[in-house]
Amino acid sequence: MENMSVRKEWLKALIVAVVAFVTIYGMFFSDRQKQDESNGHFISMSVQPQPYIGPVVPLVITDPQAQATWFVNRFWDEFDFRDSVRLRPELLTVAFASYASALFYVDKKICRESICRMFDAAALGGQRALERFADLSEEYFGSRESPTRCETAYIYAMDKLLEMSEIDSLQKIRYQALRDLACRNRPGMKAEEIRFENRKGTMYRLSMIDAEFTLLFFYDPECGTCSAMRKYIIDSPIFEAYIKSERLTVVAIYAGYNKEHWHTHLSEMPKKWIVGYELQGLVAGSVTYDTSGLPLLYLLDRDKTVILKEPTVEVLEAWLAQEQNENRDV
C-alpha cells in the first residue's frame, strides 16, 4: 500500500515504534514518580497501567504479509474502548503507533475494513473514545511530520467518520474538506493545472512544459527548510545529471501572495529552473495543492501524471537513481 512493497522486517519496525513509546512512557512516569516522592508519596511502577501493544502474531505464521494481516485484523480485539485509563494519551499513542505502523503492510481492502471496525468499536466506547481515535487518525495518517503518514489510510478514516451519525455536522464539514484536499494530485492522477508568471514576466502553464519528468517544487524564499532543499537539489549529482540531460525540468512555484517578495528573491534560484508566481492564489490558498507546509515536492511524468506525491527529497533522489540505473540496463 502507498507504493510500498511488503517488507520482511515490518515487525522490526513495529517493535522499534513500541519500544520508543514505552521509553517515552517510562520517562513520563519517572517524572511523575519524582513529583509524588517530593510530596511524600511513592507510587510503585508495578501498579501502573501498561501500554496496549496488540496481539502477538503466532510463530506458525511466517509470511510477512500474512503476519501483518493477522496483526491488523485482530489489533483492537482486546482493547477496552470504555476504559478511561486506556484512553490516556501516554498509553493510547503507544497502541495507535503500533497499529499505524502495521497498516503500511496490508492491502487496501484489509486497511479500510480494519479502520472501519476500529471506529465502530470506538463509537461504542463513547464520544470521548471516538474523538480520541479521530484525532489520532488525523495525526498519524495525515500529518506530514508523522513517520506513519499514509494518505490511503487517512482517506479511509475520513470516509468512515463522514458516514457516522455520532459525528456532528460541523465536524463533518471539516472532515470533508480534509478528504477533498487529500484526494487531489494523488499518484496516477493528472496534476492540477498551474497558471503562473515566470521570471521574465511571461505567462506560463504547467501543461506547457515538455520534459520526460517535471519536478514541482513549492517554496517560500524565507523558508529555511526550502532553502536547504533547494541546495540539496543543486548539489546532488543525481539531480544535476537529469537536469543537464534535459530529462528533468524543475518548476519552482512560490506558495505565497506577495509578488514583490517573490521577485526580490528570484536571483537566488538556479537559472535552469523555471520559477513562477501563481496568479490566482490557488496554490497559496491550498485550493489545488495543499501548501500548508513547505517545502513540497511532486514528481510528474511527461503527461503531467503524478508519479510521487510529496516525497522527501531523499526518497525522490533514490527514485531517480533507480530509474537511471534501470534505463542504463535497457
Is 25 within 8 Å of 91 (Cβ atoms)? yes
Q: CA–CA distance from 7 to each of 63, 75, 86 (Å)?
A: 10, 19, 30
What average pLDDT score do residues 311-320 get?
A: 97
Give pLDDT tens digits for 268-289: 999 999 999 998 999 999 999 9
| Whole-number pLDDT of residue 330 | 55
Q: Which CATH number fits domain 195-329: 3.40.710.10, 2.80.10.50, 3.40.30.10, 3.30.160.270?
A: 3.40.30.10
Check pLDDT > 70 for residue 185: yes
CB atoms within 10 A of CB 220: 20
**Assigned C-alpha cell, 25:** 512512557
Q: Which H or E element spans position 217? A: strand 213-219
**Assigned C-alpha cell, 239:** 539531480
Check pLDDT > 50 for residue 260: yes
Domain boundaries, the chain: 10-182, 195-329
Largest CA distance in the chain: 74
Average confidence score pLDDT of the chain: 89
CA distance 237 to 228: 16
Quick one: residue 115, left, alpha or beta (phi over 0 = left, psi -120 to 50 = alpha)?
alpha
Q: Which H or E element spans position 278? A: strand 274-278
| Whole-number pLDDT of residue 2 | 52
What average pLDDT score do residues 23-50 get?
A: 50
Among the residue ranges 31-35, 58-62, 74-78, 191-195, the one predicted with the least confidence is 31-35
